[in-house]
Structure 1
Amino acid sequence: MDLAATVSEVIDLRSFSNLWFWIAVAVMWSTASHWVLGVPWDLVQRARHGNGTAAAHVHQLARIHCDRLLHIGRNAGVWLVGLVSGAVTTLALLALLYENEFAQALLCLFLPMTMVGGLSLHTASRIDAGGVEGPALYRLLASHRRWVQMLGVISIFVTAVWGMYQNVRIGVI
């Protein structure tokens, strides 16, 4: 058997009809909504219910990850915006202009995650500017999580509709 045929059977680039793509979508969004600015959501829940150790850990983790995000934003932000914009634009051109299904799938994954990245940077700057702690920090993290979940729901819906359209158009089911 030809090596190229074997590789193309194992790695199916028709992404929207591939189970692994949908597993990656589910894992990506569940991870994004569980780790709120680097803080596990179950830890935030324990802190909200009065667990002092969990509250200390939430504050430490939030401070560490906010400082890290803001440091990256201040020192490499312009370069990252340029690189990410170029990558997303390249994916968009390949996906929409050249109708490359693999690029369409990657665009459905990366475009919403760039929005999550921007939202995370905004939330980190709000936490840093206000010195937010205690219940106010938990509310801000919960608000951030709701926005991420809303982006996830919209993204999954758009990805599913686009994937169904591609599968029907190509005739692969």
Structure 2
Amino acid sequence: MQWYETIFELIDMRSFSNLWFWIILAVQWSLTSHWVLGIPYDLVLRARRKGGQASADLEALARVNVNRLLYIAHVSGLWITGFAGFILTALILLGFVYDLEFAQAVFCLVFPMLLVSLLSLRTAHRIADGAHQGEALHGRLLRLRLATQAIGMTSILFTSLWGMWQNMQLGAFG
């Protein structure tokens, strides 16, 4: 028996039964719901409670991140959209047409993040259009965080159900 066969027997390399996949999924959504538009959510809470310098810091950080995100979207938005469409189509075909479990797992990680990115871009446009100070900014970031968490919970539910289905299918027929 070769050394790589021994490793593959010890570590299950299938995606949905691999502990590392679930750790990555948990860390991904933990970080995504904490960093809203590149702003740590504890800064939003501190600015909301204390105001003053914390609120000024929040507004400055929001202005910088919103301008950065909108610049990237205006300069290379079409290229990013085309590349994302290509990757998503390839993952859908490989995962669900050709039944490649790794592509299904990557799709379950990437597709919800695409939704969060689109929602963040929409929020950045709204902040740039006027809701960029005080309570309006706090409310906008709070709503973005709640929507991100809703997408995350739905994604985790779907991924866990799909992963269990895949593991049961492999157990029954593999």
TM-score, normalised with respect to structure 1: 0.94
Distance in 1 separating the partners of 2:130 and 2:80: 25
* RMSD, aligned α-carbons: 1.6
Report Cα offsets for 1:43-101 as digits up to 9, x if no partner: 10000002422111111111111111100000000000000110011011110011111
Distance in 2 separating the partners of 1:79 and 1:52: 40
C-alpha displacement of 1:110: 0.1
Q: Percent identity?
A: 49
SS of equivalent to 1:99 = coil
Report Cα offsets for 1:125-145 as digits up to 9, x if no partner: 000011521010000000000
Conservation of the 8 A alpha-carbon contact between 1:13 and 1:102: no
- Residues 10, 78 of structure 1: CA spacing in aligned structure 2 closer, same or farther, 3 A cutoff? farther
Number of the residue aligned with 1:115: 115
Q: Does 1:156 align with 2:169?
A: no
Conservation of the 8 A alpha-carbon contact between 2:59 and 2:132: no
Number of the residue aligned with 2:47: 47
Q: Does 1:102 align with 2:110?
A: no
Distance in 2 separating the partners of 1:117 and 1:134: 24
Q: Which moved more, 1:92-101 or 1:1-10?
A: 1-10
Distance in 1 separating the partners of 2:84 and 2:10: 29
Distance in 2 separating the partners of 1:167 and 1:15: 10
Distance in 2 separating the partners of 1:3 and 1:82: 41
Distance in 1 separating the partners of 2:19 and 2:111: 21
Distance in 1 separating the partners of 2:128 and 2:3: 53
Number of the residue aligned with 1:27: 27
Distance in 2 separating the partners of 1:62 and 1:169: 46
Aligned partner of 2:106: which letter? L
Distance in 1 separating the partners of 2:51 and 2:109: 36
Number of the residue aligned with 1:16: 16
C-alpha displacement of 1:12: 4.0
Distance in 2 separating the partners of 1:3 and 1:51: 60
SS of equivalent to 1:130 = coil
Number of the residue aligned with 1:85: 85
Distance in 2 separating the partners of 1:59 and 1:11: 47
Query: 1:118-129, aligned counterparts within 5 Å?
Result: 118-129=118-129
Aligned partner of 2:14: which letter? R
Q: Which moved more, 1:73-82 or 1:123-132?
A: 123-132
Aligned partner of 2:152: which letter? G
- Residues 115, 10 of structure 1: CA spacing in aligned structure 2 closer, same or farther, 3 A cutoff? farther
Number of the residue aligned with 2:70: 70
